[in-house]
Structure 1
């Protein structure tokens, strides 16, 4: 190559210009590769952030049973049905939304099956409380009032 450049009559000026052009082209190519890589990393970061938010939502959903139990235990222990009804209604709506969010964000078949199972369990839990336990608690309250009045 050296001989080719010598034989073609390249002057030092032309050689320097070619060298500078070569450096600019290589630098431009490296910058282009870097920009493309950074945009891919940005998209990857955004995707991972969304997945982490889904994981946080799933962790919150995993605590639903404890929160349900807390309200149910309060209703059994304290028999304050008006306050319990308010808490229960608000909690039920919030937790249904949370479970639906988990279902919507499920990616794999396994995740969808687990989310569906959790949804079914939640609705069974709610059904038992609303259709069986509350009526028993209200009957018990009536019996206690009747016993007090008889004394």
Structure 2
């Protein structure tokens, strides 16, 4: 069956540089989209593919400590209620920051082949979280965005 475009969504937590949202070990929801996949039912239910991209800009919020590094974690979940851990983690990456210097936005690129049962629900929710753990205080300084595209088909 020919490739079928299903949906495209975006979520903007912060669309520019600047911001003072502190990061902590409590995951912060920075992206939330619901992709409509009902168009794949019934012929392409098992052939849905999702492409997810995002970015998160971080900055130092205080003077550098003399202790160890900080780990920044980004994760994408399918389903759930918008609280970290309530969905299925489909992508997770950790970045270690040791020395204060210039920080650049972190990019996310993930793909998902959702199970037919999720497709049959008609809409699939994807969320992006960010958290830190360590000795360096960081803030979400923008931009912070999350985008998704759903297609179906085999050729």
TM-score of the aligned structures, taking structure 2 as reference length: 0.22
Higher relative contact order (CA 8 A, sep 6+): 2
* More strand, by proportion: 2
Give the greater-gyration-radius structure (CA): 1
